[in-house]
Amino acid sequence: MPTVDNPTEKTLAELGVNDAQGVAEKFAEVRARFDRQVALEADEIRKLMLQEAWLGSDSDPVTSLRNFWVGRKTGVLTLITENWLKKSPSSLKGVIGKQFNELKGHIETKLEEQRKRIEEKTEAAALTREQVDLSLPGVIRPIGSHHLIRQVFQEIEDIFFSIGFSVVEGPEIETPYYNFEALNIPEFHPVRDDMDTFYLDLPKGASTPLLLRTHTSPMQIRTMEKQKPPVRVIVPGKVYRRDNPDATHSFAFHQIEGLAVDTDITFCDFTGTIEYFVKQFFGPSVKTRFRPSYFPFTEPSVEFDVSCPFCGGTGTAAAGGTCTKCKGAAWIELFGAGMVDPAVYGFVNYDAKKVSGFAFGIGIDRLAMLKYSIDDIQVFFQNDVRFLSQFP
């Protein structure tokens, strides 16, 4: 690239220099020019690049300046070697060589100093930019917690763990066989009406209909199919029914199934287990009672009630008047249960003459409502943080 008034592009003879003094003056000129340029800041060099075409090719002005002076092909030092040193009479070569070495040393030292200066400046700027102000308040993110339903699941699981039960889980999409037939609920049995459910759309020609399970009881069958007695499991999970939503009904809700089968399980084991659970869950002062009920897969079947934990089983609110929770009945219905119907053992190849057991199915949402005085089941599904954060 042509330069503005760069004497090193010409020979000394062309510049009219023919003695040692002239040589010294030319070197002094070049050195002065270098000293001016090397002292400039990057911005100023950039300006110079625009004024003098010589710095044009490199985007970084400092590199451009460096190339101008020590670049291998057309740098000033190379030009001095080619135009001044090689093309001068041998009488001047000694002086030129000495001046050249001095200039070369000077330029290299100054460029190195410039490099260090720029590096330090860049580092200092980066340090200032990246400085962390430890006195600034931090970003406080709210910590989440388990949903109340999950907390109740865990509480119940812990109680049953403590008396030797283990947890199993099963599919939410079931076949009618597991959801109904194997539980002794044949097609057209009226009890199916209470558990009207969601059937899945299947591809044409699919042989087995599929449905969202209406209760966790299918896992009784699946567990016994897999495992010989003794069986002692609880099954937490989601279930679905085509119930219209209201304060105590949802189309998706939660249950925990319990099943214990062995060679000598009696009704006393059953009541003892349930009472233990209820007293652990609600506190030792609650009373329990059974009422006869009906489930096709238990015989006898019962509904299990607890004395109302809100009015202490009196039916009267503390402030007087009827207890709104139990509506004055003094008892609250908790869940269905019973001794496993021998017919069910036939579906899982257990010998009904040798084994006996009990099962129960607890509605978790209603249990949580009872324990934590929640009067609308829908709040469990609305994900309103104002509600959820009350149960950290």
User: What are the residues binding ligand FA5 (CB under 6 A)?
Assistant: 215, 217, 241, 243, 249-250, 253, 255, 257, 295, 298, 335-338, 359-361, 363, 365-366, 377
Choose between 174 and 365: whose C-beta lies nearer to ligand FA5: 365
In whole angstroms, how close is the CB of 314 to ligand FA5 at the nearest point? 23
Residue with the shortest CB distance to ligand FA5: 363
- HSE toward the beta carbon, residue 148, CA cutoff 13 A: 27
In whole angstroms, how close is the CB of 220 to ligand FA5 at the nearest point? 7
Given its phi and psi angles, is residue 296 left (phi above 0), alpha (psi -120 to 50 degrees) or beta? alpha
Choose between 88 and 255: whose C-beta lies nearer to ligand FA5: 255
Choose between 7 and 237: whose C-beta lies nearer to ligand FA5: 237
Choose between 64 and 301: whose C-beta lies nearer to ligand FA5: 301
In whole angstroms, how close is the CB of 392 to ligand FA5 at the nearest point? 25
The whole-angstrom separation of Cα 77 and Cα 107 is 9
Choose between 157 and 243: whose C-beta lies nearer to ligand FA5: 243
Which residues of 157-281 form beta strands (DSSP E)? 166-167, 173-174, 211-212, 231-240, 252-262
Helices marked H in the chain — which ranges? Answer: 20-38, 42-51, 61-70, 76-79, 90-130, 148-161, 176-179, 191-194, 218-226, 267-282, 342-347, 364-371, 385-388
Choose between 130 and 194: whose C-beta lies nearer to ligand FA5: 194
In whole angstroms, how close is the CB of 377 to ligand FA5 at the nearest point? 6
The whole-angstrom separation of Cα 4 and Cα 84 is 18
Give, in order, the Cα–Cα distances in Å from 264 to each of 83, 165, 358.
114, 17, 11
In whole angstroms, how close is the CB of 294 to ligand FA5 at the nearest point? 10
CB within 8 Å of 344: residues ≥ 6 apart: 182, 183, 184, 220, 221, 297
The whole-angstrom separation of Cα 133 and Cα 319 is 57
In whole angstroms, how close is the CB of 372 to ligand FA5 at the nearest point? 15
